[in-house]
Amino acid sequence: MHTVVGTYRNMSEAQKVLTDLVNAGFDRDDISLVTSDAEGRYQNLANRKDVVDDDVTAGEGALIGGLEGGLIGFALGLGALAIPGIGPIVAFGPLLGGLIGAGTGAVTGGLTASLIDSGVAETDAHTYAEAVRRGYVLLSVHAPDERVDEAKSILNRYDVVDIDDRADYWRSQGWKGYDANAKPFTSKDIETEHSSYGSKATTGASITGPTSGTLGLERGAVRTYPASSSFGTGASGTTGYGNYSNYADDFRTHYQTNYANNQYSFSNYEPAYQYGTYLASEPRYRNRGWNDIEMDVRRDWETRNQGAWEDFKDSIRYAWERAKAAVR
């Protein structure tokens, strides 16, 4: 399974992609969309149980109202929330599930964390989160290996944004990566951003060219990533001693012994145990001590926005040492 990702300038273009994915037989539950809602035009629709086409444009109404292309399933799954450093957004699909607590509707993690959990490389997750902040529409689909090329072809049919071109431009303006304290873009800011892109976005943009150096991924428009549902798979794609399931019972016992009486449940600690297990399978951290890697690990953990470092660092370290011991 792979995650195929594209970014679009507006909802109308994204809707064309969604329609084609559904018509091609891709499962709706495997498709995600995230976009800024700086004007609040989608929030009421996201909160309604009877989704209808009333005061939105024809192209967007077809997506949000579900009036054509069999997309009402997407509309009914639409969620509206605010993300630190990004602002108000609407989303559906697995990426939305990674943003909110099950059954609570509360934000539990950042968009970068949700993207990383879908298999997206960390550096690219920052770029996609910034794209959403700046008013672009992020769309992804989980595709089985034999359908990856088909998914990429569909995502490339329309006005897909060259995300590397955008990232280069943002860096030239001083952007350095996701910042939870960044000021959300206003509708005027978004208009200015899109005008700076001009006519560089072209239908069917090429995905060939030099790689980004991260997992051998494409530069440019549509990208693919080995899908991952947890931290159990490292950047190299290996599992082995990094497989979380091998230690799940041990970690639950560790939680019961050390943390059961505090404010957090095991479900709050589980991402920390998963992350620690992932660290043990990450090549750049092999043959290194905790004191040597802690600064980098803390920065990465906080980027993923999984919780306060001081609350979870001991469980992360325990999982790292437990999984690492298997290969000593």
287-325 pLDDT tens trace: 788 999 999 888 878 766 557 888 889 999 999 998 887
**Is 89 among the domain residues?**
yes
Edge-first strand listing for the sheet containing 87-92: 79-83, 87-92, 31-36, 137-143, 2-8, 223-226
Beta carbons of 322 and 250 less than 8 angstroms apart: yes
Higher pLDDT, residue 126 or 306: 126
**Is 234 among the domain residues?**
no
Residue-wise DSSP of 115-156: HHHTT--HHHHHHHHHHHHTT-EEEEEEE-GGGHHHHHHHHT
For the full predicted model, state whether its pTM sits above 0.75: no
Domain edge (last residue) among 226, 249, 269? 226
Range in 134-143, 231-240, 255-264 the model is least confident about: 231-240
255-291 pLDDT tens trace: 889 988 877 777 778 778 888 887 887 777 777 889 9
Q: What is the DSSP letter of 107?
A: B
Say whether both 220 and 260 belong to one domain. Answer: no
Say whether both 26 and 94 belong to one domain. Answer: yes
Q: Which range marks the domain in which residue 205 is found?
A: 2-226
**Is 286 among the domain residues?**
yes
Domains in the chain: how many in total? 2
78-110 pLDDT tens trace: 677 788 888 888 888 888 877 764 333 444 457
**Is 16 among the domain residues?**
yes
Say whether both 271 and 195 belong to one domain. Answer: no
pLDDT of 315:
92
Q: What is the separation of C-alpha 25 from the centre of its chain, rounded to a whole number of angstroms?
A: 23
